[in-house]
Amino acid sequence: MKKEKIMETVFLLMACVSILAVVLICVFLFVNGVPAILKVGIGNFLGGKEWRPGNGIYGIFPMILGSVYITAGAVIIGVPIGILVSVFMSEYCPVWLYRFLKPAVELLAGIPSVVYGFFGVMVLVPWIRSIFHKGGESILTASILLGIMILPTIIGVSESALRAVPRNYYEGALALGATKERSIFSVMLPAAKSGISAGIILGIGRAIGETMAVVMVAGNQARVPDSILKGVRTMTTNIVIEMGYAQDLHRETLIATGVILFLFILIINLAFSLVKRKSEIQ
């Protein structure tokens, strides 16, 4: 009984440390970032189409669009592939192949971002350039690379969600005359949609927060893109590229960019929570 109380206290302290860390990060971001947004002006900061720190112009609209475009492209590429692979691994994959495929997917999750970026520079950039004769370092290249990077997250969570669905759902659908494919896609996938949605949200969070790989393949051009074959700069890459030499208001606006990025992630998580709660009520 005494040991249980001690461990309960330890777990409580660890939970409090986690909460405190999040609170401290939030306080640091908002205390240092919000005043900069007010100095520049909310409209000028969020809606400005030019980023020229040397001239006192701090508009992050191109970076917001760049983050949205690249993340959307990664989701369009990564989500269908990830879900289909998870279906294959949970329902179709032979045991002998699963023994190799599962560790391979987990290995993808452990590869450092800079290695992915190097792969993008050496393989994807020349490949895209050879096909379109331009746009090597572009939104398309970054989207493909991020689509690959989010696959392990989506596959792992989606597969676990599918395996957690009671097997009698699948067997009941077969007993009613449904084919195997119809049973999986009409019964199993809807039953696992909460877990699959969680995997997609985690993948989006990984994509929108990725930095090193995007720095190496996106072109890093702070402008409003008019084509997926044009270079672009995201909010995270903007912070990484300029934080090393930024001072005064320039540095504060970079922290303010982190505030906007934090709000993006918060909105995505809140939207997921609302969708999940709505599905549970139904």
DSSP conformation class of 54 = G
Using CA atoms, how far apart are residues 264 and 209, in angstroms rounded to an integer? Answer: 10
Does residue 55 sit within a domain?
Answer: no
Residues 66 and 186 in one domain: yes
Using CA atoms, how far apart are residues 152 and 257, in angstroms rounded to an integer? Answer: 28
In degrees, rounded to 5, the angle at the alpha carbon of residue 205 between the alpha carbons of residues 73 and 211 is: 75
pLDDT per residue over 20-37, tens digit each?
A: 998 898 888 888 888 888
Residues 23 and 150 in one domain: no
Residues 41 and 87 in one domain: no
Count the domains in the chain: 2
pLDDT at res. 76: 93
Residues 71 and 156 in one domain: yes
Does residue 51 sit within a domain?
Answer: no
- Is the pLDDT at 81 greater than 90? The verdict is yes
| Residue-by-residue DSSP string for 178-209 | --HHHHIIIIIHHHTHHHHHHHHHHHHHHHHH
Those residues with Cβ within 8 angstroms of residue 258's Cβ, 6 or more apart along the chain or in another chain? 29, 33, 235, 239
Residues 263 and 190 in one domain: yes
pLDDT band at residue 44 under the 50/70/90 scheme: confident
Mean pLDDT of 140-168: 90
Using CA atoms, how far apart are residues 185 and 177, in angstroms rounded to an integer? Answer: 14
Six-digit token string for 69: 């475009």
- Greater confidence (253 vs 221) lies with 253
Does residue 105 sit within a domain?
Answer: yes
Mean pLDDT of 103-131: 89
The secondary structure of the chain in percent helix, strand, coil, rounded to multiples of 5, reads 80, 0, 15
Residues 32 and 74 in one domain: no
Does residue 56 sit within a domain?
Answer: no
Question: By residue range, what is the domain housing residue 20?
Answer: 2-45
Mean pLDDT of 121-132: 89
Whole-model pTM?
0.85
Residues 262 and 139 in one domain: yes
Does residue 77 sit within a domain?
Answer: yes
Using CA atoms, how far apart are residues 222 and 233, in angstroms rounded to an integer? Answer: 5
Does residue 53 sit within a domain?
Answer: no
Those residues with Cβ within 8 angstroms of residue 107's Cβ, 6 or more apart along the chain or in another chain? none
pLDDT per residue over 12-22, tens digit each?
A: 899 899 889 98
CATH number of the domain residue 90 falls in: 1.10.3720.10
